[in-house]
Chains A and B, each alone.
Chain A
Amino acid sequence: MTFAERMLKIDRRIIFLVIGLCTLLPLLYPVGLPIKISPEVRGVYDHIESLPEGSVFLLSLDFDPASKPELHPQAISLLRHAFKKNLRVVALTLWVSGTGLADQIITQVAGEMGKESGKDYVFLGWSPGGTAVIINMGQDLYGAFPADYNGKPTKGLPVLQGVANLRDVNYAVSLGAGNPGVEAWYVFGKDKYKFEMGGGCTGVMAPGLYPLLRSGQINGLIGGLRGAAEYETLMGQKGKAIAGMDAQSATHLAIIVLVILCNIFYFSLRKQGKQQGYSGA
């Protein structure tokens, strides 16, 4: 067996070890490289920044714990921004397995910023029906969620004063890890009830949402951990996303090096095969 053949059949545990070290070492010894802000992330930030105090900001946390590393920092930054601007926050989730996580995020940030449930924000929780919940909220918010997550009747809550349905929402952001997520909120929500909308998603989903972004159907997109790190940079608050960017940089570089090496070994094998073929003939 030649060296190239041996290298192509390398034990995958060695690759796992390389990736593991590339993730762990930058987390222990951060470098803190500068993060460039993309227009997609700036779109969401600038829109929230332009909203007047008391505007209704809807945040749909459509993800479960599997996507926590990427979407949790996005949610934290968005909520901090909304509370800092004194917006009225209406939060919910369309993913049943994400209810606990969403509640923790909102309670944590609201506590940090000294905001009160029912007065400054409301967490509506989860309701069955997926996309039907969006249409139902568009028709009658109180019909879709008669009570909030803590069982308080939604009708009469100061935070929802003047809000009857999705038409009264000034800006909505869906942080989606799949379906229902950003696309569902656009198709069943924004298109019919005419509110401005932005999105956030995992890194693997981001390329799929670019058509919505380019056509102006969503006015901004926070994609993956990188997007979250950009938002943290805009907010001037170093969080988990910025801390994770060094690890992501190192793992991306490691994968690129592995792909280049694999191709070098592959072409050297092909060359050897051709040479043997010629000498054989």
Chain B
Amino acid sequence: MIFLRRQVPLLITLITGLVFAAQYYVPHPASEQMLTSATKWLQIIGGFALVLGVSSLFHVHAVKIRRKEAGWGYSFVLYASMLGTIAVGLWSNGKEAVDGAMTAFGWIYNFMMVPLQGTMFAILALFIASAAYRSFRARSREATVLLIAAVIVMTGRVPLGEYLIPISGDLSQWILNVLNASVRRAILIGVSLGTVALSIKIIFALERSYLGGGKE
């Protein structure tokens, strides 16, 4: 059993890891065909992952409702809205509109999901303003630099700022193009090197935490 639970997954990881790393550099039709097949599998697995995610969500909230844990009412709302949307979605054949006419599923999407998501995102502006007022203080030299850069970029990115202080637009562009881009690039290179190192460790079984820590 240990062979099936440990060695086999490690062997699959080693072979697929090496084969697909090499595939990128081999433009032979057979290699390309292999990539086509593998990505089709990935798409199919992606579909299953969606089903798995939904069923897992149902399970977590079913437990909450059964045990009447704190906030179980919200779980009930989630259950009702999810089942309702699935039923309406199946009934509407997954289409928001048919020949220009809105379906029931389209109604849920347009008049519930769109405004709800929009509202959640819009209230961020209010909280950002409140948080900026309470915590954006020049407490240290670093905080002062951050504060000045933020004020310049905020001024230079809107027409009113450019109208009041014409140089703010160019200054904001310079901050974004030079300071921001160089620092972001350094972070990106660091993250990418870390990803390569981690991938090598996973392929060669030096990192096995992804297998989980179940009983052997």
Q: Which residues of A contact B (CB under 8 A)?
A: 8, 10, 12, 15-16, 18-20, 23, 33-36, 38, 64-69, 96-97, 99-101, 103-104, 107, 127-130, 132-133, 135-136, 139-140, 143-144, 192, 203, 206-208, 210-211, 213-215, 226, 245-246, 248-256, 258-263, 266-267
Cross-chain contact of A258 among B115, B118, B129, B138 (Cβ < 8 A): B129
Chain B nearest Cβ from A186, distance in angstroms: 12
Chain B: CB-nearest residue to A251: B125
B208 at the interface (CB under 8 A from A): no
Residue B3 is within 8 A (CB to CB) of chain A in the complex: no
Alpha-carbon gap, A99 to B96, bound state (A): 9
Q: Which chain B residues in 108-136 approach chain A with CB under 8 Å? A: 109-110, 113-115, 117-118, 120-122, 125-126, 128-130, 132-134, 136
> Contacts A12-B130, A129-B43 known; A252 to B157 CB distance under 8 Å?
yes
Majority secondary structure, B binding face: helix
**CB proximity of B92 to chain A, nearest CB, Å:** 11
Of chain A, the residue at the smallest CB distance from B116 is A65
Interface centre among A12, A20, A252 (most CB of B within 10 A): A252
User: Distance (Å) between the CB of B152 and the closest chain A CB?
Assistant: 10
Are A69 and B43 CB-contacts (below 8 A) given A248-B158, A253-B160, A256-B155? no
Residues of chain A within 8 A of B125, CB atoms compared: 19, 23, 251
Proximity bits, B135-174, A CB within 8 Å = 1, else 0: 0111000000001001100110111111100000100010
Asked if A249 and B43 make an inter-chain contact with CB atoms under 8 angstroms apart, the answer reads no
Is B190 positioned at the interface, with any CB of A under 8 Å from its CB? Answer: no
For the complex of A and B, 9 pairs with smallest distance between CB atoms: A249-B160, A129-B46, A132-B42, A128-B46, A129-B43, A33-B159, A100-B96, A139-B36, A210-B181
Cβ distance A215 to chain B, nearest Cβ, rounded Å = 8
Checking B50, B106, B110, B151 against A259 with a beta-carbon cut-off of 8 angstroms, the contacting residue is: B151
Collect the chain B residues with CB atoms within 8 Å of residue A249's CB. Answer: 158-161
The answer to whether B137 and A252 have CB atoms under 8 Å apart is no
* Contacts A245-B158, A258-B132 given; does A210 touch B180 at CB 8 Å: yes
B-chain residues with CB within 8 Å of residue A67 when the two chains form the complex = 121
Can you list 12 residue pairs at the A/B interface with Cβ under 8 Å? A12-B130, A33-B159, A101-B114, A107-B100, A132-B42, A135-B39, A136-B42, A139-B36, A214-B181, A249-B161, A252-B154, A259-B136
A150–B69 alpha-carbon span in the complex (Å): 43
Asked whether, in the complex, the Cβ of A226 is within 8 Å of the Cβ of B114, the reply is no
Instruction: List residues of chain A with CB within 8 A of the CB of B161.
Output: 249, 252-253
Residue among B42, B121, B157 making CB contact with A226, cutoff 8 Å: B157
Chain A residues within 8 Å of B128, by CB: 255
The complex places the Cα of A103 from the Cα of B110 at a distance, in Å, of 12
Q: Are B155 and A143 in contact (CB under 8 A)?
A: no
| Closest Cβ–Cβ distance, residue B117 to chain A (whole Å) | 4
Chain A, residue nearest B49 (CB) = A128
Question: A250 contacts which chain B residues (CB < 8 A)?
Answer: 160
State which size class the interface on B falls in: 35 or more
Q: Is the CB of A97 within 8 A of B132?
A: no
Residue among A15, A254, A261 facing the most chain B CB atoms (10 A cut-off) = A15
B40 at the interface (CB under 8 A from A): yes
The complex places the Cα of A74 from the Cα of B86 at a distance, in Å, of 31
Q: Contact check, B185 vs A139: say whether CB atoms are below 8 A apart.
A: no
Q: Given A139-B36, A248-B158, A251-B125, are A214 and B43 also a contact pair (CB < 8 Å)? A: no
Residue B35 interfacial (CB < 8 Å): yes
Q: Which residues of B contact A99 (CB under 8 A)?
A: 96
Contacts A139-B32, A210-B177 known; A256 to B159 CB distance under 8 Å?
no
Closest CB of chain B to A191's CB: distance in Å? 10
CB of A222, distance to nearest CB on chain B (Å)? 13
Closest to B178 in A: A214
Contacts of B138 in A (CB 8 A): 263, 266-267
Taking CB atoms, residues of chain A closer than 8 Å to B43 are 127-129, 132-133, 136, 144
